[in-house]
Structure 1
Amino acid sequence: MLKYTLAFGLVFTLLLSDPSSYTLAKEQSKKETIELPSSIINIEKENTNPNQNEEFPHLKPSEFTKELLESSNEPIENPYLIKILNESSINKSPFALGMRATIFMGTFPLNYQSEQSTPNWQYQKVNTNTYDNSSGKVNQQMSYAQQIQKRIKGGLTSKVEQAEDVQNMILLKTRKKTKLPLSLETMVGAGTKHHQVYNVNPKKVGHLNAYVPAIVEKGEVTYGEVYVVIRGMKREIVVKNVTSQKIGAWLPIQDHLYFTFQVTP
């Protein structure tokens, strides 16, 4: 996917070995901590199908990457691009005086700016438990028990170029912003139970519904053509042809369920 164009017959490549580091672009949106209602229960310990957290390698830039990205005219947060730069280096040398080179890295989604993070506590229903106490004379108790395994997926709300990179940027930023265990996918295993009890009155039928909650994220992603420019011992990134696009995503809250309880005649 990536094409590297070396001007003036450049014989060394970006895949040399000089350590580097860059701090991710500063958050432009204010951090928001979303309070979970009491109807949401953490089932991480009870879940019979443990979820794995999505981890993104090379998020801590090397010194070389930091030098490049701090020189960029656009903030760069894309973990994949940072990973590529972390694996690259261009050694400074006194013999490089007078050298001029431009290296085209490719077109990338550069950063994501969050505009709104809204919870949807009833994103997808995953289970219903029913207790029939219509012929009973005293209160009966019921609790949650997952009947079948459920896989709940999130993702982008529209098609964009390099969707995986965009998803990862949105997920990372929204996790940091909301302080919630967000993911692109979560599993609820069959047989998962929780000890919280609900009372079903005599002559009534109890209905306990379980939902996977999610965050509805909306914002803007910025794209651009990324060039590494070398002028003697100076090394910098130049971004050209910058464009932006509105985007949204559904991000399930991992290992959490939202419960509603009703009794009917």
Structure 2
Amino acid sequence: MKKWSLICFISFFFFQSSVIAAESAQTYTVPNSVMDISKDNTYPNPTQDLPYLQPSKFAKQLIDSANVEIENPELIRLLNESSAATTPFAIGYRATIYLGQWPLNYQSTETAINWEYQKMNTNFYDNRGGNAPQKLFYKQEMQKHIHGGLTAKIPNEEAVKKMMLLTAMKKTNLPLAFDTVIGIGTKKDRVYNVPAKKLGYLYAYAPAVNEKGKVTYGEVYVVLKGNKKRIVVKNITTQGIGAWIPVQDRVSLSYIISDSPR
């Protein structure tokens, strides 16, 4: 009986490990219809450089002492700029410092990609009077601004957006930004053939990531007692939130052949 229980336990352990590995190895396949225009875009988009901010030794000590997980890079930056010296004469010293209400962390529950988030261009060729196939290419006719954003009003919006952006970039491994631009005249040399007696329509879309999850808020206090320092978070609340985050310097193309104007 003990041997059978051990076998069951080992089987369950490896099953759980395989599930965790599958979840961590989740990938997002880019369709063949999506093209990288980072080298062709006539509008140079700024690179989104949002690395995870490493806490200082003092900040890490405080974060590890907190009763809730702290990931907000703005709060970590504030703690990195703070310090508290230790002294042998601190016996009996007490202080509580209120840092305000902060979004503490963001937990993702769903990440999905809409490769046709926003239509931004149409190229077409009328070959109804022709006797041979003709070539059609993607060329951006007008400069297009693609805007993302949160799906609802939420306190400390910018900090929440940064946490959601970091999470979505890590999960999808795609260049993301809440605002991106496709410049006029941007083009690619991929050929789309328009048959004789037909019309060819080439639609261009901007893709975007739909990120959904929960934000945890709390009132943050730094408590000093003698030489001991810790963070206490009070009045903890959780709020659901979603966001659309455009994929930077990518275009999704859809080609349609038609007998009549669309």
- Which TM-score applies when normalising by structure 1? 0.87
**CA displacement at 1:142 relative to structure 2:** 1.0
For 1:135 and 1:60, the matched residues in 2 are separated by 64
Cα RMSD, aligned residues only = 1.3
Of 90-99 and 234-243, the range deviating more from structure 2 = 90-99
Asked if 2 retains the 8 angstrom alpha-carbon contact of 1:138 and 1:202, the reply is yes
Q: Percent identity of the aligned residues?
A: 52
Shift of 1:30: 4.4
Equivalent residues in 2 for 1:52-131, closer than 5 Å: 52-56=46-50, 59-131=53-125
1:228 aligned partner, one-letter code: V
1:56–1:79 Cα contact (<8 Å) kept: no
1:62 and 1:53 map into 2 onto residues whose CA distance is 26
Shift in alpha-carbon separation, 1:31–1:231, aligned structure 2, 3 A: farther
Question: 1:31·1:177 contact (CA, 8 Å) conserved in 2?
Answer: no
Please show how residues 1-265 of structure 1 align to structure 2 within 5 Å: 30=24, 32-56=26-50, 59-265=53-259
- Does the CA-based 8 Å contact 2:48-2:175 persist in structure 1? no
AA at the equivalent of 1:239 = V
Aligned residue for 1:94, secondary structure, equals: coil
> 2:48–2:176: 8 Å Cα contact kept in structure 1?
no
SS at 2:89 equivalent: helix
Task: Identify unmatched segments of 5+ residues in structure 2.
Answer: 1-22
Residue 64 of structure 1: SS of its match in structure 2?
A: helix
Question: CA 1:74 to 1:214, structure 2 compared with 1: closer, same or farther past 3 Å?
Answer: same
In terms of Rg, which structure is larger?
A: 2
Between the aligned partners of 2:71 and 2:31, the Cα distance in structure 1 is: 32
Asked whether the 8 Å contact 1:137–1:202 carries over to 2, the reply is yes
The one-letter code matched in structure 2 to 1:111 is: N
Question: What is the DSSP-based 3-state SS (H/G/I as helix, E as strand, rest coil) of the residue aligned with 2:95?
Answer: strand
Deviation (angstroms), 1:172: 0.6
Give the C-alpha shift of residue 120 in structure 1: 0.7
Secondary structure of residue in 2 paired with 1:96: coil
Q: Match for residue 4 of structure 1?
A: none
Q: Residue deviations 1:92-112, cap 9 Å, x none?
A: 222222211111000000000
2:24 & 2:132 partners in 1: Cα distance?
Answer: 52
Note the residue ranges of structure 1 that are not aligned, 5 or more in a row. 1-28
3-state DSSP class of the match of 2:77?
A: helix
1:58 CA drift (Å): 7.7
Q: Which has the higher helix share?
A: 2
